[in-house]
Structure 1
Amino acid sequence: MSAPERIPARSVTSASAGSSPPAQPSAERPAQPSAERPVELLAEGELTVRGRVREASNAVLYCTVSYEGREAACVYKPVAGERPLWDFPDGTLAQREVAAYEVSEATGWGLVPPTVLRDGPYGEGMCQLWIEGEPGSELLALVAGEEAAEGWKAVGFAEVGDGETALLVHADDQRLRRLAVLDAVVNNADRKGGHLLPAAEGRLYAIDHGVTFNVENKLRTLLWGWAGEPLTEEAVEVLRRLRDALGEGGPLAARLASLITPAELDATRERVAALLTSGRHPEPSGEWPAIPWPPV
């Protein structure tokens, strides 16, 4: 018998503009219309803070952005609201979120919602199009037994209380497999289940990429189901394109140069080269916890 691990909905509390990031009581979220030319809208539009995402460890503000008659819902993460981390330079998480979007766009997979770096009500920060997840698409589950069923990939065992364990599995899904490759390229140190957003028309988006691009190997993810398996032909072709785009004078290298350090850019090139050399999905290094906590 299986117990699906549903991706929790992000909850929002109301806010009004002021001198400090807002919090508390609950509010209705305005409907999110489809965004035309979302990057332009996010970069140039007027931001209005509507609420705060309660579960986030850093300041994550739910906003609307309006520009030339267009409006959309978005997330604004001000640098001023970032919690210091021991292994990442202070005040750099917003830039890393934008860098992850740039790499995602370069793959052609479109796995990260449109994301820009801009000024806002609480200073410079990351602004990202809000994605409303579609219910009914299960990507993670906790199941009884020691093997994953057909259509699922095993990650490992998890404690579920009273000394019992269950097998954590994720869907054997092409969208997740692409994301596993993207995470390996950007060195994602925190790929949790709640960061996966199945959306309309079969799209899958991934969010929360602040702890990426470290020069040290910090890959920590729930998507280990393909560890050690050969990369798909599609993934190899994408990695070749990334290698070219990351070369000296390449378009992606130019975009990333203003977002991450030269050493981090070099490390990204090295990760792409290593994936192409091995031809396989990476495996846990054993030098860093392989599974994020909490996992969802």
Structure 2
Amino acid sequence: MPELELREWDQPGNPEDIEYALIWAPPRGALRRFPNLRAIFSIGAGIDHLASDPDLPPGVPVVRMVEPGLTAGMSEFVVMSVLYHHRFMIEYAQQQRAHVWREIEQIPARRRRVGIMGLGVLGGDAADKLCGFGFDVAGWSRSAKTRPGVTSFHGPGGLVPFLNRTDILVCLLPLTAQTEDILNAETLAALPRGAAVISVGRGRQVVEEDLLAALDSDHLSGATLDVFRTEPLPPDSPFWDHPKVVVTPHIASMTIAETAAEAVVENIRRIEAGQPPLHVVDLARGY
């Protein structure tokens, strides 16, 4: 859209000229200075950083980022991590450090039960990719969802049965009041002994002390953690050197500029044509 004029956040010119904001985590209340905003675009899939701002301009739609590069990147990371735990790479890494040469009996994918918390755009695509490998895939979400090849659980009543049948758990939930601290001593105990956890949603969904206790007691065989309550992860965090933990610095998926620009332009065109933008967030719900 050559007719669009782009301005930097720190040099917006006349605030009344600004109609669209493409942002990540602006200071609270900072968007109030633009009285003519027509849409707020988040450059990431999550919007908890915006939903928690009490001074967000009222009535302005907030649009989360949905673009193929972000989705593909998350599915790549989830598949990689599931395969890592499925093929006992945590155990083999421990054996390498101890100079131990010992084969572990393999389990076919069809007998490995993978559970995905969150069946939105990212979780749904990851579920599809894992089904392609032959895994026994289930999903848990707030409301009932149907996806080919995926056993669906939903709501508070479906959480424990979902966890009971999950060998490798992937947390891809948005951060809301209901999902904060959802992975705690009680829910982790509902997983079968020897299960693994992959956390790629938000750090505040995991009670870190409870996760460490489950790992140290051998209830869990391992964890891949990409998100943490405090980021960057403090140097003295026990996760860094834990033999059962893989730490990555919140890189499971990143917005790809080229395809993200196309998604934003498409939504601006829709707004200019009098149509509602795609992927508008329900701020009260948190996603």
Which category describes the TM-score, using the shorter chain as reference length?
under 0.3
Larger helix fraction of residues? 2
Task: Determine which structure has more spread, i.e. the larger CA radius of gyration.
Answer: 2
TM-score calculated relative to the size of structure 1:
0.22
TM-score by length of 2: 0.22
